[in-house]
Structure 1
């Protein structure tokens, strides 16, 4: 075989191998790594706030329930409530002094989560935010 034909054959094999890898499903990739699809691709977080402004956060949990539980625990007050839960993204909490209330929001970036929380609050300022390791 001529050198040119060998290079074309090698390039074709490399292209085909790359195509196969690129079309593998997330479930197949997760199974190959020995992890479930949910735990491999989804990182959950939550933010909880108490009436006195105490804040609890969590990030990179395998389930939304475990993220909420950790945020409540880290808030440390009996009046704590989870105001936002997010997955592979960011969450934020805003405070509106006019209504004396806290509101949660979420977004794909910290800035979007903060804007969403402020919009949900009807104005005010953000007081806390948190992102999972996988966001955007």
Structure 2
């Protein structure tokens, strides 16, 4: 395992742009070592970036990710961080479940509207023509 990784290596590893990494740095989420204009990422920076990207995939905002990361660095520490993550995951799950219910309802409404249109078209003797 190497001590340092360049921004190019990190962007390739995580499939993100240098702009994304700079954004996370500007937001105070990661702090790579600076040697002149060169950013050098430690193993700990790579782990932080991995956690940030996982948080983004789970739907957490930058503010939520920052809050969770700050908990890890200071009291209540890791236990508090884990409780916060569980709470946030629960909240995200509830939001997604509501979206799923909304989508199912909308799909049902679309099915009903389509059925009504097809029924009326049959009554009129019009052949359905659906593009797509």
Which bracket does the TM-score occupy, shorter chain normalised?
under 0.3
TM-score, length-scaled by structure 1: 0.26
TM-score, length-scaled by structure 2: 0.27
Structure with the higher strand share, 1 or 2:
1
Higher relative contact order (CA 8 A, sep 6+): 1
Higher Cα Rg, which structure:
2
